[in-house]
Amino acid sequence: MKFHIQTWGCQMNDHDGEKLSGLLSADGFEEVGTAEEAELVLLNTCSIREKAVHKVYSELGRLREEKQRRPLLVGVTGCLAQQEQAALFKRAPHIDFVLGTMALKQLPRLVAEAQAGKARVMDTGEYPDNHLFPPSVTRRRDTAKALVTITEGCNHACTYCIVPTTRGAERHRPYSDVLAEVRGLVARGYREVELLGQNVNSYAGGCTFADLLGRVSEVDGLEWIRFTTSHPMNFTKDLAKVLVANPKVAPFLHLPLQSGSDRVLKRMLREYTVAEYLERLGYLGEGRDRIALSTDFIVGFPGETEEDFEATMQVLDDVAFDGSFSFIYSPRPGTPSLRLKDDLPQGVKSARLTRLQRRQTELTRASNARFLGREIPVRVETHGPNEHGWWLARSGEWKTIHLQAGPGRVLPFGELVQARVTQAGPHFLGAELV
């Protein structure tokens, strides 16, 4: 049977997609590139914002029409599956099975039951060992950087966030398992790994996250370590020290702030004030200048005043983030923030988001300009140049690099090369091979 997996959302979902692909491939299924070629389509969903949910239901509508033309199994997994569960069948009766985020290993069973003609197959239970996924099964899509889950779930309770519901409480992989997986990946030729979790900073698989980074960095042949995502409350001095001092840990930190207003942060139940967030950035010390810093902002949270928003703009300027991901508040079913009065007109929210993003573009341009003339290591992320002669690469600071290698020059995919930065825009750096 031919299958296709369509994934929305974060890196955790991307990696779940790799795991699900591996499970089906191990059962003799063949992965194909489009839903039109497939006999089984699995939607690996996100529900963090309303827009992501709309995309899923739009695709389900398209698959309903496809299913009327030919035999087709349709499955839904990911956060929307865990959140909606049986309600998905009511809204989209043509769904054959629903698989929760904490039951991924049950995929072959659910597919077999659906193939046998059983209707509305569902498993959204919590299996204690779901996070202990056999690395050998994972079918990796990126051959330059490997995603490695170290923890799943979240013990925080932000009022706007559905993740504690869809991903459950924190479960941590033993550090010995993580190290074994990284060693195996390096043996297969990988030189970069990204450690994943809803909150990697709270890792407790037999050591702290700072300790884990140190242990992973000792794996011979590994060149770069990245990680995501971090909660400010669990960002420690020891972690900051490793980030600054360990040459294998990429000089990039994504630390979501969400708002520059203490009043809004309290309503969000983020557990820190702006001053405490800035204090944690201070842990980086003199190394702060070489660490690229990005963050998240939610604009238009219920009750956000103009003064609250101006406080966010002030922090944006004070910190001068290298980049940020910013969104209009999206009320999610089952979250405490639904009880708050969403009293801001959509036009006000949109105007605030536009203003914040324009300012961020200016800050990113200024940040990128600091790289002009510098020689930096970058990893080649394409197998050949584009029509303009540029190779796509990525710096340790997570900067997109358009790399000019020269006529006829072939760059090894996935390798680190030295590049001199010659251009700096808000979205990429232009560079030439040294």
Rounded Cα distance between 213 and 207, Å, is 10
- Asked if residue 207 belongs to a known ligand binding site, the reply is no
| Ranges assigned E (strand) in 201-332 | 224-228, 252-254, 292-299, 323-328
Residue by residue, DSSP assigns 201-237 as: GG--SSS-HHHHHHHHHTSTT--EEEEE---GGG--H
Rounded Cα distance between 16 and 43, Å, is 11
What single-letter amino acid sits at 190?
Y
Q: Which residue is associated with the tokens 């914040």?
A: 356
Tokens of 324: 């940020």
Evaluate whether 38 touches 3 at the Cβ level (below 8 Å): yes
Evaluate whether 31 touches 5 at the Cβ level (below 8 Å): yes
Tokens of 273: 């004030």
Evaluate whether 219 touches 182 at the Cβ level (below 8 Å): yes
Evaluate whether 175 touches 215 at the Cβ level (below 8 Å): yes
- Cα dihedral 20, 23, 24, 25 sign: positive
Give Cα separations from 289 to 282, 321, 367 (angstroms).
11, 11, 10
- Asked if residue 154 belongs to a known ligand binding site, the reply is yes
What single-letter amino acid sits at 55?
K
CA angle (158 as vertex; 156, 159 as ends), nearest 5: 140
- Cα dihedral 24, 30, 34, 35 sign: negative
- Asked if residue 10 belongs to a known ligand binding site, the reply is yes
Evaluate whether 157 touches 164 at the Cβ level (below 8 Å): yes
Rounded Cα distance between 157 and 271, Å, is 9
Give Cα separations from 23 to 16, 284, 376, 377 (angstroms).
11, 41, 39, 36
Rounded Cα distance between 92 and 406, Å, is 53
Q: Which residues are annotated as a binding site for [4Fe-4S] cluster?
A: 10, 46, 79, 154, 158, 161
Q: Which residues are annotated as a binding site?
A: 10, 46, 79, 154, 158, 161
